[in-house]
Amino acid sequence: MSDLAASAIDLCRALVRRPSVTPDDAGAQDVLEARLKAAGFATDRIVFSESGTPDIQNLYARIGTSAPHLVFAGHTDVVPPGNAASWRFDPFSAELSEGAIYGRGVADMKGAIAAFAAAAIGFVQRSGTGKGSISLLITGDEEGPAINGTKKLLRFAQERGARFDHCILGEPTNPDALGEMIKIGRRGSLNGTLRVKGRQGHVAYPQRAKNPIPQLVRLIEALIAAPLDAGTAHFDASNLEIVSVDVGNLAFNIIPAEAHARFNIRFNDLWTPETLAAELRKRARAAAEDADYELRFEPCNALAFLMPPDGFTDLLRAAIEKHTGRKPSLSTSGGTSDARFIRAYCPVVEFGLVGATMHMIDEHAAVKDIEVLTAIYSTLLEDYFSF
């Protein structure tokens, strides 16, 4: 194993040992900041706050002052491990076993942070800082409400004069093997609630009541009966999933007064939240009959977007093929990510580790994959600052 790879593995395990479950950073960004400062990066630690939301630790690090400016982005926060007794090893021990590191967040996405931090430090040690600028944009709020994280950190950097030329986000983009997939966009995400009011009464006297459940079922069917679209060249078809149906009724002899359903829509670039809401309201009106209903949508900060492939995408694909032998596909699949905020500032693509075990019991990443990912990022830096 090269010194560069060993540095990435060591940093990865140090990060995983910090139980940084959103919103508690637990010292993870301290670990990363210390490595970057020792390599000459200027660092800023910023805590963003907003009423009704937790305070969030963020880290911005930069070396160099000129263009081109390449930024690596990621998050040190992780989802809860669940029942630790169900894990093969303690979820925050970063145990090394059978060629893999086990621990919450190793795949999503502390392994990638360690890889791009080691690659950036190695590049600076080899080439100095005269060819441009490298930044790291690290938040602790990606797995949470994403209010006091990347969105505000980008504004912080911009207000201090930072102008980014390209960004790579280290989310775990590969389904099964390193090198399979680059994300060049993401679907949007819109949440909604359908609420139907009835009239409560005794089940033995239905004529005195009005059951909202059949009306709710009819309206749900109207929302999902027809496909929203057939997809586009880069996006799958938009999809509405009912995630909850509830009446809050524990009795067998009461017709409930109200019923509601909650749903999520993952939508492509044919829609905006506004046009999607209008379409669903139209469908509901057509099926409403005499239903007393409300269709409400949550504020949406996850719009569908696409980054058309460019020279930067070509550099990344070439680096991936060089070190894995695979030609990665360009995809917009998966959930949301902080790329939805970054894309307003510069072109952004996503490439990281294999995501097969992210958010699962016994989350792990192969040591070899972290080693190869570090080499990919290192080659990308060399090529980026020479073209």
Strand order in the sheet with 95-97: 95-97, 100-102, 364-366
Q: Is 20 in contact with 77 (CB distance < 8 Å)? A: yes
* Catalytic residue (choose from 25, 108, 142, 371): 142
Burial class (CB within 10 angstroms; exposed 0-12, middle 13-18, buried 19+) of 201: middle
Instruction: Examine the pLDDT at 1 and tell me if it is beyond 90.
Output: no
- Residue 301 is predicted with a pLDDT of 86
How many CB atoms are located within 10 Å of the residue 49 CB?
A: 11
Mean of pLDDT values over 300-311: 93
Per-residue pLDDT reduced to its tens digit, 322-336: 999 999 999 999 889
Q: Is the peptide bond before 68 cis (omega within 30 degrees of 0)?
A: yes
How many Cβ atoms are within 10 Å of 144's Cβ, its own excluded? Answer: 19
DSSP state of 109: I
Considering the candidates 77, 258, 269, 369, report the single residue annotated as catalytic.
77
How many CB atoms neighbour CB 244 within 10 A? Answer: 10
| Interstrand relation of 69-75 and 166-169 (parallel, antiparallel or unpaired) | parallel
For residue 277, is pLDDT > 80?
A: yes
Please give the pLDDT value at position 128: 81
Question: Angle 317-106-306 (CA atoms, 0-180°, nearest 5)?
Answer: 40
Confidence of residue 290 (pLDDT cuts 50, 70, 90): very high
Rounded distance, CA 92 to CA 19, Å? Answer: 6
* Joined tokens for residue 92: 């925050």
How does the average pLDDT of the chain come out, rounded? 96
> Over 80: is that where the pLDDT of 2 sits?
yes
What is the rounded distance in angstroms from the CA atom of residue 360 to the CA atom of residue 308?
Answer: 32
Instruction: Write down the pLDDT at residue 29.
Output: 98
Strand partners, 101: 96, 365
pLDDT > 80? residue 129: no
Q: Give the percent of the chain with pLDDT over 90.
A: 97
Q: How confident is the model at residue 131 (pLDDT cuts 50, 70, 90)?
A: confident
- Could you tell me if 167 and 72 are in contact, meaning their C-beta atoms sit under 8 angstroms apart? yes
Instruction: With a cut of 80, say whether residue 299 has pLDDT above it.
Output: yes
Does the pLDDT of residue 387 top 90, yes or no? no
Would you give the distance in Å from CA 311 to the centre of its chain? 24
Is the pLDDT at 127 greater than 90? The verdict is no
Structural domains of the chain sorted by starting position, each given as residue range(s) with its CATH number in brackets: 3-186+304-384 (3.40.630.10), 195-297 (3.30.70.360)
Residue 318 near residue 384, CB atoms below 8 Å: no
Sole residue written with tokens 């009966």: 225
Q: Is 142 a catalytic residue?
A: yes
